[in-house]
Every structure is written in C-alpha cells, then in structure tokens.
Chains A and B, each alone.
Chain A
Amino acid sequence: GNAPVLGEYLDCACSGIMACSTCQVVVDKKWFDIVGHPEEAEQDMLDLAYNPQESSRLGCQIVLGSTMDGLVLMLPKGSNNMMDNIPFDD
C-alpha cells in the first residue's frame, strides 16, 4: 500500500529492502506491542545493528498508522536523525 514507512525518515543505506541495519530504532517499551515485534528475517538483520536492544526494530519494516500517534522511539548514537534537517514551522 501507500502507508508511510518509518524508514523514510531515517538514514537508510539499502533503499529500505531490509538488507542492512542503518535504520535501526529502539521502540519505547510501552509502544513495542503496538508497533509489533520483528519477525525472524528482521531479527537476523538486527543482529548486525549497532548494539541491538530487546525492543529494536528496523525502521524500514515499520508501517506507520493512526495507532502510532505519539510513538516514542530512540535512535542509536551515531544515527542521523533526519527529522533534525526537516524545516518544520514550529
């Protein structure tokens, strides 16, 4: 579908096809069940990420929806937060 994917807002080296781990995020524990847990193939790629945590996900695999309004994520140190570069009117 055309639902936005979280990976679009993050550093992404492989064009979002789950072939790297640059878009790793750590989902806030309260949100992990809502966002969903990673399947086996995604877990394999998370193994290569920088310091993966229990609630890590790959941004390119998280499809955003209305249930995620207010979603809290942490970016690993060293990740580029692309949101810093988007000129929102505050």
Chain B
Amino acid sequence: AVVLAYGASGDRKLGIPGENLDGVHSAREFVNWYNGHPDYVEKDFESLLTRSASCVVIGQGNVAIDVSRIILSSTDKLKTSDICQHALDALDKSTVSDVSVLGRRGPAQSAFTIKELRELTKLDGVACVISPADIEKGSNPSTLEEISSSRPAKRKFELMKSVAAQEEKVNAEEEARRRLHIRFFLSPVAILPSEEGGGQARAVECAVTQLEGAAGRQKAIDTGERVIIEADLVLTSVGYKSYGIEDVSFDPNSHTVPSVQGRVVALPDDDDRDGVPAATPSIIPGLYVAGWLKRGPSGIIGTNIPDAKETVAAIREDLDAGKLGGSETTKMAEEDALRLARNEDGLLVGGKDGCKLIVDTKGWRSIERVETAKGQAIGKPREKVVSVQEMLQIAHHSNE
C-alpha cells in the first residue's frame, strides 16, 4: 500500500492586479524563511523589513496571526526561541511599526483561534487595535445567531469586543508602541505600485464589504466603497493548496486527491468504461490518501486524527481481504521508490536510479545533536541547520 500524505505546499492566490509586485509574498514564504526551510532562507526579507514602515497581511487565519506576531515581537523575546539567527538579525533591524491584518467578513467570521488572538493582545510593546465600528457592523442578526450556538465563537467575539472597548484609550496613548490593527470588512481588489514605477508595492486597495446571508452561510458583499491602506510589505495568507503528482488522479477544483474513505479513486472524466461514465468512482487498488491532501488544507491535529483513522481502517480492511500485494501500485512501489541499498561510500541510497541519499533516524539524530549544541551556545533550544548539503554532511559523516 502507498499512502499519500504530503499535505499542501502551495499557496492560494488572490488573483488581483499587483500580486507580483516587489514586496508582495505569501505568508508561508515568510514563515519558511524565519523557520529555516532550506529553499527559503535566501529570500531577501531583510531588505523588505528594513525599508518598510507598514505591513499589510491579507487573511485572518492562524498563519496571518503568526507572521504578525513575529514582525511585531521584540527580538529580546524571540532570541530565546529556535527562530533562525538570520531572521533574528533581520528583525533586529526592522523598521516595521504597523501591521494591519485584513479580513473580508466580520470579527465573528475570522478564522484565527482565540489562543493566538489572546497572545497578540499581550505582546510587550505592542498595541492591538480593533475598531468598535467593526464590532457594531459585525453584530448583525445572522452573526449573533452563529455565535449563540458556539462556545468557541462566543468567547472569541467577547475577547474582540473587550479589545475594541480599549480603542479610544489606545489611540490616546502618548507612548509610541508598535501597532497591530485587526481590520474587517475589507476585500483586496488590487495592490498598487509606487508612483516611481519601480514595480514596488506601496498600498493595498480594498473594497468595503458587508455581510449578507443566513447564519453559517454569510457572504461578503461589495458595497462599492473603496479604502486604500499604505503598505510597503504585503503578505498574503489566504490558504494553502496541494499539488498533484504524475499519474495520480487530482481534482483541479478542490486541489485534492479524490478518494472514498481514504481509498484513492479515479476522476469522473478519466473513469469511463467504453465511453460510458462510471456510476460509482473506480478505486485505485493499493493507493490511499490522508490529511490535507484528502480533505483540503484546513483543520488541526484534532481534525487530522479521525481522518487518519479512516484511511488506516480502509488499509486494514483491504489487507484482511487480501486486496493488497500484487496490485499495480504495490508493484511500482516495490520496484522503484523503496528499494534501499548502500553505495560505494557505504551511504544509504534509494529512488528510481538508486541515487537519492537517504537520511535515516541515526542521521537525523546527528543533525539534531548539532543543532542543539549550536543553540545552547547562544541561549536557544536549537540553532537550525539551513542547508541541505550541510544536513547530509552531518547525517552521513558523524563519528560515533
């Protein structure tokens, strides 16, 4: 059996003009940069952070909150975490003092969870701002109905109300704190370039929206009004997206691998037998899918556990029924991807042509030891190795 569980490594696009301007990136790229993903550590976020006064984050999920928190946190607090040193150095020099996190709908429809929001309200040296007008507008009948039936939604809304109640006091502050604005009813329609025509982002133009629809199904409707928010750095955080792989059915609309109870099935278009569309989807024997690739990229540990259980139950059932082994998929796996051997240097290799270097648990622990030691030297839990070359070097050449 082969289980596809590779999640969602792409970004949903806004599909608006200016999305490719200098200074516009996905939040995921920024997270990968400060977390040390080898493919993203070279991205020049330092220049953006040191030439920008304000940042706009588009989207209101936990990722949007995360990047806002990292940009506004004092590096004093961050430097005892395992955030990468190159990011810490860049953030030390950052001139960003204002971050706006924009959502299309109202406060109650935001996707971030209360724990993350609460952390933002307690950040040292940062004032969190929510406008009472947004709370007012976001307290329409459908929303009140949504909140009344959900304890989490109610608690989160109450927290946002209490932040909004402080708005006047915060605005009157003499002390210059960094600002985090959580703004609602704003749907980006374009990212505007600087007048100099240098291809740099300078502002986000938004449509002002209002909520319409029944509880649980409210949509953001364009009121026709427009608002322009200045920003030199724009981070888009509107969801992840999975990629398909060769020879595996992939739904281009939902960006998921089609399945029934965890068993991968053929797409309807590829599923006709003698020109007649199949009545029920054809199961691809031996191939399974789990997690975000199966359901789409939303949900947390708690949602992924039952998902995994469903897929495992299907594998178990098929195993017991003698349906595994001998299938095309299993044969392919046995012949290509999983054959492991030692090359002439004694290193574990695998893959189609036997050339891919494999890192086993022992190798991983060597890398972990190096990271932990490097971190301890500077008061961090670990200092991550950010180059694949270096990782392979450590994994394969440690003395034990």
Q: Which residues of A contact B (CB under 8 A)?
A: 13-14, 20-22, 40-41, 43-45, 47-50, 52, 78
Closest to A52 in B: B151
A44 to B155 Cα, complex, angstroms? 9
Encoded as 1 (CB less than 8 Å from any A CB) or 0, chain B from 100 to 141 comes to: 000000000000011100100000000000000000000000
User: Does more than half of chain A's interface fall in helix, strand or loop, or is it mixed?
Assistant: loop
Output the least CB separation between B63 and chain A (Å). 16
User: When the two chains form the complex, which single residue of B114, B118, B151, B302 contacts A22, counting CB atoms closer than 8 Å?
Assistant: B302
Query: How far is B114's CA from A39's CA once the two chains are assembled, in angstroms?
Result: 14
Instruction: Given the known inter-chain contacts A13-B305, A22-B305, please indicate yes or no for A45 contacting B300, CB distance below 8 A.
Output: no
B residues in contact with A78, CB < 8 Å: 305-306, 309
In Å, the complex CA distance between A41 and B152 comes to: 13
Whether A47 and B113, one on each chain, are in contact in the complex, defined by CB atoms closer than 8 angstroms, is yes
A13: chain B residues at CB < 8 Å are: 301, 305
Using Cβ atoms and an 8 Å threshold, which residues of chain A touch B306?
78
Contact with A along B260-301 (1 / 0, CB 8 A): 000000000000000000000000000000000000000011
Name 18 interchain pairs, CB-CB below 8 A, sorted by A.
A13-B301, A14-B301, A20-B301, A20-B302, A21-B301, A41-B115, A43-B155, A44-B118, A45-B115, A47-B114, A47-B115, A47-B155, A47-B156, A48-B300, A50-B302, A52-B151, A78-B306, A78-B309
Complex CA distance for A20 and B306, rounded to whole angstroms: 15
Chain B residues with CB below 8 A from A41, complex form: 115, 118
What is the total number of residues of chain B having a CB less than 8 Å from a CB of chain A? Answer: 14
Among A13, A40, A44, A50, max chain B CB count under 10 A is at A44
- Do most interface residues of chain B lie in helix, strand or loop, or is the interface mixed? helix
Q: Which residues of A contact B302 (CB under 8 A)?
A: 20-22, 48-50
- A46 CB to nearest chain B CB (Å): 9
C-alpha spacing A13/B303, complex, angstroms: 12
CA distance A49 to B301 in the complex (A): 10
Residues of B within 8 A of A22 (CB): 301-302, 305
- In the complex, besides A43-B155, A44-B114, A48-B300, 7 extra interface pairs with C-beta distance below 8 angstroms are A14-B301, A22-B305, A41-B115, A47-B114, A47-B156, A78-B305, A78-B309
Q: How far, in whole Å, are A9 and B300 apart by their CA atoms in the complex?
A: 22
Q: Give, as a whole number of angstroms, the nearest-CB distance from A12 to chain B.
A: 10
Q: Which of A14, A20, A40, A48 contacts B152 (CB 8 A)?
A: A48
